[in-house]
């Protein structure tokens, strides 16, 4: 991988990192607001249906939240691997992951063969 490609991927990962951190911060703020709204409503109104949908949307938020956190840890891991100089090596077998694969998926940590093996377990 040449320096240009490496810089391009690093820039992408760093901006993804910034975007995901912002997204998590925003979700935390919204989460607090949703929680206080829901409990405020229950003080003077006790509709089971409303309660049910509030719980449902909170669960949905938590799933989104987990996805974002997972994406963030993937990005952090990729940046760490870059710093360690092992970014292009498959973490399972050590073979090169391949420039095309990394361009398509900058957070990939395994070569296509290992990834396929991992997924078919
Ligand atoms: Zn491999």
Domain boundaries, the chain: 3-87
Nearest to 20 by CA among 54, 120, 28: 28
Q: From the CA of 118, how far away is ligand 1's center (Å)?
A: 10
Q: From the CA of 109, how far away is ligand 1's center (Å)?
A: 9
Helix (H, G, I), strand (E, B) or coil at 89: strand
- What is the pLDDT confidence band of residue 73, given thresholds at 50, 70 and 90? very high
Q: Are 102 and 88 in contact (CB under 8 A)?
A: yes
DSSP 8-state class, residue 87: T
Residue 62 has pLDDT above 80, yes or no: no
Q: From the CA of 22, how far away is ligand 1's center (Å)?
A: 33
Tell me the two tokens of residue 79: 């940046």
Q: From the CA of 106, how far away is ligand 1's center (Å)?
A: 16
Cα 46-64-71 angle, rounded to 5 deg: 160
If one compares 43 and 86, the residue with the highest pLDDT of the two is 86
What is the tens place of the pLDDT at every residue in 6-55?
Answer: 999 999 999 999 999 999 999 888 877 776 666 655 555 555 556 566 67
If one compares 56 and 72, the residue with the highest pLDDT of the two is 72
* pLDDT (0 to 100) of residue 86: 97
* pLDDT (0 to 100) of residue 108: 97
Strand partners of residue 89 = 96
H or E stretch covering 104: helix 99-104
Q: From the CA of 54, how far away is ligand 1's center (Å)?
A: 44
* pLDDT (0 to 100) of residue 56: 67
Residue 88 has pLDDT above 60, yes or no: yes
Q: From the CA of 55, how far away is ligand 1's center (Å)?
A: 42
Can you tell me which residue has the tokens 């309660």?
A: 51
d(CA 26, CA 57): 16
DSSP 8-state class, residue 88: T
Tell me the two tokens of residue 29: 């703020």
Q: From the CA of 105, how far away is ligand 1's center (Å)?
A: 15
């Amino acid at each position: 991988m040449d320096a240009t490609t490496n810089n391009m991927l690093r820039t992408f990962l760093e901006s993804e990192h910034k975007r995901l951190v912002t997204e998590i911060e925003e979700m935390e703020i919204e989460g607090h607001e949703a929680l206080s709204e829901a409990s405020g409503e229950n003080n003077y109104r006790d509709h089971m249906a409303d309660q049910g949908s509030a719980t449902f949307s909170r669960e949905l938020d938590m799933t989104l939240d987990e996805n974002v956190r997972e994406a963030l840890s993937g990005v952090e891991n990729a940046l760490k691997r870059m710093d360690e100089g092992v970014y292009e090596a498959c973490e399972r077998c050590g073979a090169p992951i391949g420039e095309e694969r990394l361009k398509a998926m900058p957070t990939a940590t395994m070569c296509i063969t290992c990834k396929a093996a991992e997924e078919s377990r």
